[in-house]
């Protein structure tokens, strides 16, 4: 049939074009790696707002729950990139306090994923080989017992490590974190026998900072948000006052290594002024 050779030729041409694009992308990625490594300046605490899972699924014609599943796989991949570049602290925002109002079936799927991923991380060879200390930050009181148990097990198995610090922000909101910090400060001051007037008179920003969920690591110097949304939505409100921000148009499950490296190269080209 005369149409068959034409069809075969078109498929061959498409495969060739795809291979060429792949080779060009690989070459570009390797150049970015050299640029980023050669510069030497890395974020000391990287914040990642993992946005766009549902929209990724919608665009691909999948159920929205699948977007969260692909997003969880991407988080593992990005963790590897951070380990390879020696970034000492990473906070990933997985679930906000606002997300509790979502459809119950979707929320249940997210919590099931959270349990599964916590158990996977607890036995992940990369975590133990690189001495990654993992901690879940946020308000978890309403989480199911099985999810709480998985998070506790993960934290216990990595509590003694001194390598990368990985914070998983779940049930997290920036306003709630500040309120919890103020409550904790007031509680410790009351236990010390100080009056409310004394506490108010002596209160400083450092008093609040000392009780934040991530008080024992530096504030994030670089925050990346995917999906094209240009806002923080409450992510580390107190700690991000001098952070550098990078907003990427791609949805989180589609976040590529080249996107990550471009963001880091952008960070390396900025001069942090700390309000000066």
- Per-residue pLDDT of 228-270, as tens digits, reads 999 999 999 999 999 999 999 999 999 999 999 999 999 999 9
Instruction: Say if residues 226 and 256 touch (Cβ distance below 8 Å).
Output: no
Q: For the segment 39-64, what is each residue's pLDDT rounded down to a tens digit?
A: 889 999 999 999 999 999 999 999 99
- Give the tens place of pLDDT for each residue, 177-213: 999 999 999 999 999 999 999 999 999 999 999 999 9
Q: What was the pLDDT predicted at 198?
A: 96
At 236, phi and psi to the nearest 5? 45, 55
The architecture CATH gives domain 44-173+219-268: 3-Layer(aba) Sandwich (3.40)
Do residues 257 and 30 touch, judged by C-beta distance below 8 A?
Answer: no
Query: Which of helix, strand or coil describes residue 274?
Result: coil
| Residues assigned a catalytic role | 51, 99
In the annotated binding site, the residues are 51-56, 64, 68, 96-98, 102, 225, 231-233, 244
Beta bridge partners of 47: 91, 223
Residue 89 has pLDDT above 70, yes or no: yes
- Whether 168 and 94 have beta carbons less than 8 Å apart is answered as yes
Going from N- to C-terminal start, the domains of the chain cover 44-173+219-268
Residue (of 96, 190, 83, 82) closest to 137 by Cα position = 96
Task: Count CB-CB contacts under 10 A for residue 88.
Answer: 15
User: Would you call 177 exposed, middle or buried from its count of C-beta atoms within 10 A (0-12, 13-18, 19+)?
Assistant: buried
pLDDT value, residue 40: 83
The answer to whether residue 1 scores a pLDDT higher than 60 is: no
C-alpha–C-alpha distance, residues 124 and 113, integer Å: 16
With 60 as the cut, is the pLDDT of residue 6 above it?
no
What phi, psi does 128 have (nearest 5°)?
Answer: -80, -35
Residue 242 confidence (pLDDT): 95
Neighbours of 122 (CB within 10 A): 18
Average model confidence (pLDDT) for the chain? Answer: 92
**155 pLDDT tier (thresholds 50, 70, 90):** very high
Instruction: Show binding-site residues for Mg(2+).
Output: 51, 244
For residue 22, pLDDT beyond 80: no
In this prediction, residue 125 has a pLDDT band, given cuts at 50, 70 and 90, of very high
Helix (H), strand (E) at residue 135: strand 133-137
Residue 274: pLDDT band by 50, 70, 90 thresholds? confident
DSSP readout, 223-246? Answer: EEE-TT--S-TTTTTTGGGG-EEE
Mean local confidence (pLDDT), 119-142: 97
pLDDT of 75 strictly over 70: yes
Pairwise pLDDT comparison (137 vs 28), residue with the higher score: 137
What percent of the chain clears pLDDT 90, i.e. is strictly above it? 84
Other CB atoms within a 10 A radius of the CB of residue 253 amount to 24
Phi then psi for residue 199, to 5 deg, are -65, -45
The sheet that has 133-137: what strands, in order across it?
133-137, 165-172, 89-96, 46-49, 222-225, 244-247
Closest CA relative to residue 171, chosen from 254, 88, 234: 234
Specify binding-site residues for substrate: 52-56, 64, 68, 96-98, 102, 225, 231-233
């Amino acid at each position: 049939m005369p149409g068959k050779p034409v069809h075969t030729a078109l498929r061959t041409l498409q495969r060739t074009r795809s291979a060429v694009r792949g080779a060009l992308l690989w070459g570009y990625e390797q150049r970015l790696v050299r640029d980023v490594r050669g510069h030497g300046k890395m974020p000391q605490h990287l914040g990642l707002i993992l946005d766009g899972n549902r929209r990724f699924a919608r665009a691909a014609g999948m159920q929205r729950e699948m977007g969260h599943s692909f997003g969880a796989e991407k988080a593992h991949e990005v963790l590897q990139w951070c380990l390879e570049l020696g970034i000492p602290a990473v906070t990933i925002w997985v679930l906000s306090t606002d997300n509790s109002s979502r459809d119950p079936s979707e929320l249940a799927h997210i919590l099931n994923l959270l349990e599964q991923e916590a158990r996977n991380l607890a036995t992940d060879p990369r975590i133990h080989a690189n001495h990654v200390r993992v901690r879940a930050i946020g308000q978890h009181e309403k989480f199911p017992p099985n999810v709480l148990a998985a998070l506790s097990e993960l934290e216990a198995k990595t509590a003694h490590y001194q390598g990368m610090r990985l914070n998983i922000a779940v049930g997290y909101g920036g306003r709630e974190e500040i309120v919890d910090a103020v409550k904790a400060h007031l509680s410790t001051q009351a236990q010390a026998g100080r009056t409310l007037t004394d506490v108010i008179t002596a209160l400083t920003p450092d008093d609040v900072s000392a009780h934040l969920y991530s008080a024992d690591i530096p504030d994030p110097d670089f925050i990346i948000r995917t999906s094209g949304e240009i806002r923080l939505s409450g992510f580390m409100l107190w700690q991000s006052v001098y952070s550098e921000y990078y907003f990427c148009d791609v949805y989180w499950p589609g976040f590529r290594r080249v996107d990550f490296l471009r963001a880091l190269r952008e960070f390396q080209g900025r001069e942090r002024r700390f309000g000066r």
